[in-house]
Chains A and B, each alone.
Chain A
Amino acid sequence: MDNCYAIEVKNISKHFKIYADKSTTAKEKILFRKRNRYEKKQVLNDISFTIRKGESVGLIGHNGCGKSTTLKILTRIMYPDSGTVTIHGRVSSLLELGAGFHPDMTGVENIYINASIFGLGKKEIDSKLKDIIEFAELGEYINNPVRTYSSGMYMRLAFAVAINVNADILLIDEVLAVGDVNFQAKCINKLMEMKRTGITIVLVSHSTDQIEAICDRSIWIHDGKIQADGPCRDTHRLYLRYMGEKRADSKGDEEKSEVQENQTVPDDQATVSIQTEGEKAVQKILQDRGDDVRYKDRMRGNGDAKILYINSYDSEGNIRNVFESGESVTFRIKYKLYKKTSEAFLGLCIFRNDGFRCYGTNTKIDNLKMELTEENGEFSIEFPNMELLQGKYYVDVCIASREDDMLDYLDGVNAFEIYNTTGEIGLCRIPYSWDIEHAR
């Protein structure tokens, strides 16, 4: 039975022509033929998925990945180059709010115009009018011309109309950022209510929270292809990890190029063989630390040793800056020694990005004795279960002598991010167990 599907999308592809300088008049079209050169941009590349009746699905992806285009094709505003879309049921789309509003007409008159654009008849609107006015919370303003409305009131009215259209399938494109917090909550509640009555919902967003609030399933679209499709939790974990890695990469690239521009590289750094992007990035930090006046004040340590870089690794030994809460995180720190030290301590401390000190420890606390003799050394510290919750964190590392003389201290390096999909809040996970046997 294909009738259990609300939306069937089969192998759709879509490309746009990106004109460098588009000519729309006949004269330009004839005279400047060369200008009509365009680049072909493949927005959707052979996408297929099906959505069951009553399912609520989120489409997620970074800007320009094709998620809005997919929605536009579902709405039938755009047509795919190839492939088919079959839709069973009446579609209402919340792509644009307040379409066709006429500023000189009153709220009620505009309700009729706007609702008619969604394909409602007069009788249907009559029967919905009360609900719409109530939902918009406009009170007596409903009989004033729309041009006298504040932007919040305008959006509330527009959303009230759009959401009260009797549709089987509701397509929403990031329009939930409407009005104040109360109204937003009301919109989400209304969507939940509609979901319970069996309406199919497709929501496009780049906010995983928003999709998780409403949807059960999430499709991650990346560069015109479906990257992942499944329960929100699973899709979003992959998506967040990818986004985190991408962020780290672009950061690395930026800093790399800056380093290359800088001609005077200090001696000790020139000798270090550059291995990874991440290492280069940290070298930049190190270099800043030496040259920048701001860092001079914050430099602590007598310079007998210098920390060269610090990286974070996952359990498989890959450099990563984004981890899921509970994953294993290993920090590996490389240093260079200028003077042999009989007994030294290593320390590491994790700060949240608002400056809160989350956790710090050192080898002295753990009674580990160390002798630093090699010129180039490395040490690492593993957190087998990093129980910090969602947030952005920094690390401070230090090497100190037995007499608490700081050999080197590096602060605010190696930013990493933690995400969690469980919904727990706070700083970190604290082990617990419930007893609900006697709750009744």
Chain B
Amino acid sequence: MTKLAELYSYREMIYSLVRRDLRGRYKGSVLGFLWTFLNPLLQLVVYTMVFSMIMRNNIEKYYLFLFVALVPWGLMNSAMVNGSTCIVGAPDMVKKIYFPREVLPLSNTLSNFVNMFLCFLVVFAVLILTGFGLNFQALLYMPVVMVTEFIMALGIALLTSAVTVYMRDVAYILSIVAMAWQFLTPILYSSDMVPVELLPIFRMNPMTPVIEAYREILYYKAVPDLTTLISAAIFGIIVLAVGELVFSKLQKGFCEEL
């Protein structure tokens, strides 16, 4: 609780770090901030071309099926890949100034979160412009799902950033782990395609209910299952708790290890 109060008093720092990160991301490029929108849009164009012309399958509008899951996966992916280096990447600050160390993974995850939100704007625009449409009642559940995923991503970022300080390899292993995890999550396929005997293991994946909820809302235009939402929330809290526990244990040695 005191941790939360302390983090709240450092909100200005979190805010300015997020702002610096977002502004600095495409710094020096001609189109600048526009890339935030162009990037997902161009990705979508590629998927559309590949999956409706070359690799056709029997899922209707597969490129949308894929895309509404891929955008939220992006947050988890960057929480692992970018998030893991957020402490190692700021040695001067960590070694010289006191601030709650959680600020770094938190602001990193927040800026990834904002980025995901901006991508969703592109998704919404595409869904409306292509005539696919949106269910506004289902859309009311979006924030809940997004917050749940944010909590989970924060937990992962806390965990990976702290461990990376002690073992720099983790940062490289993580990109492979992220890829494997992506394939084990129903992003490219739907959960119906998973063999029944593997389903219990499949349900252990905390990202499964999250991705399913997104797809429910945006692709099937339906209100997500309550059990899906609850299991996602439980997973989120567990991941965050583990992340914070490990982080608070390991952070005491940050100064010496860097």
Q: Interface of A with B (CB < 8 Å)? A: 16-17, 24-27, 29, 72, 75-79, 91, 93, 95-96, 99-100, 102, 104-105, 112-113, 115-122, 125
Task: Give complex CA distance A72, B99 in Å.
Answer: 12
Complex CA distance for A84 and B167, rounded to whole angstroms:
29
1/0 contact trace for B12-26 toward A, CB 8 Å?
110111001000100
CB distance from A271 to the nearest CB of B (A): 56
1/0 per residue, CB under 8 A from A, across B160-183: the answer is: 000000011100000000000000
Question: Are B97 and A25 in touch, CB under 8 angstroms?
Answer: no
21 CB contacts below 8 A, A to B, read A26-B169, A75-B98, A77-B95, A77-B97, A77-B98, A79-B252, A95-B96, A95-B97, A96-B92, A96-B93, A96-B95, A96-B96, A100-B93, A104-B24, A104-B27, A105-B20, A116-B10, A117-B97, A119-B9, A119-B10, A119-B99
Taking A24-B168, A117-B99, A119-B99 as known contacts, 14 extra A-B pairs with beta carbons closer than 8 A to each other, sorted by chain A number, are A24-B167, A72-B255, A76-B98, A77-B95, A96-B92, A96-B96, A99-B92, A100-B93, A102-B24, A104-B27, A105-B20, A113-B16, A116-B12, A116-B15
Q: Which residues of A contact B197 (CB under 8 A)?
A: none
Interface of B toward A, CB cutoff 8 Å: 9-13, 15-17, 20, 24, 27, 92-99, 167-169, 252-253, 255-256
Q: Looking across the interface, which residue of chain A has its beta carbon closest to that of B94?
A: A77
Question: Complex formed: what's the CA distance from A122 to B169 in Å?
Answer: 38
A78/B97 in contact, CB under 8 A: no
B97 touches A96 (CB 8 A): yes
**Chain B contacts of A96 at CB under 8 A?**
92-93, 95-97
* Residues on A with beta carbons closer than 8 Å to the beta carbon of B96: 77, 95-96, 99
Decide: A116 near B97, CB < 8 A? Known: A29-B167, A72-B255, A104-B27: no
Q: A77-B255, A113-B16 are in contact. Are A93 and B167 (CB under 8 A)?
A: no
Residue of A nearest to B24 (CB): A102
CA distance A184 to B169 in the complex (A): 45
What residues on B are CB-neighbors of A104 within 8 Å? Answer: 24, 27
Q: Check B98 against A93 for contact (C-beta < 8 Å).
A: yes
Q: Which residues of A contact B167 (CB under 8 A)?
A: 24-26, 29
Q: Tell whether, in the assembled complex, residue B95 and residue A116 are in contact, meaning their CB atoms are under 8 Å apart.
A: no
Contacts of A79 in B (CB 8 A): 252-253
Contacts of A27 in B (CB 8 A): 169
The 3 nearest A-B residue pairs measured at CB: A96-B96, A116-B12, A116-B13
User: Is chain B's binding surface mostly helix, strand, loop or mixed?
Assistant: helix
CB distance from B176 to the nearest CB of A (A): 13
Which chain A residues lie closer than 8 Å to B98 at the CB level?
75-77, 91, 93
Report yes or no: B16 in contact with A121, Cβ–Cβ below 8 A: no
Residue on A nearest B165 in the bound complex, by CB: A24
Contact A16 B256 (CB under 8 A): yes
Closest to A171 in B: B98
Contact A117 B27 (CB under 8 A): no
CA distance A96 to B255 in the complex (A): 14
Question: Which residue in chain B gives the minimum CB-CB distance to A73?
Answer: B255
CB <8 Å contact, B12 and A122: yes
* Docked CA distance A125–B15 (Å): 14
Report the separation of the CA atoms of residues A266 and B255 in the bound assembly, to the nearest whole angstrom.
Answer: 57
B99 neighbours in A (Cβ, 8 Å)? 117, 119
Q: Chain B residues near A115 (CB, 8 Å)? A: 12
Contacts known (A26-B169, A116-B13, A117-B97); A78 close to B256, Cβ less than 8 A: yes
Residue contact B15 to A25, C-beta cutoff 8 Å: no
Query: Cβ of A122: which chain B residues have Cβ within 8 Å of it?
Result: 12, 15
Docked-complex contact A117 and B13, CB < 8 angstroms: yes
Report the bound CA distance from A29 to B16 in whole Å. Answer: 37
Q: Given A17, A91, A112, which contacts B16 in the complex, CB threshold below 8 Å? A: A112
Q: Are B255 and A121 in contact (CB under 8 A)?
A: no
Query: Which residues of B sit under 8 angstroms from A119, Cβ to Cβ?
Result: 9-10, 12-13, 99
Q: Are the CB atoms of B20 and A102 closer together than 8 Å?
A: yes
With A99-B92, A99-B96 in contact, do A78 and B9 touch (Cβ < 8 Å)?
A: no
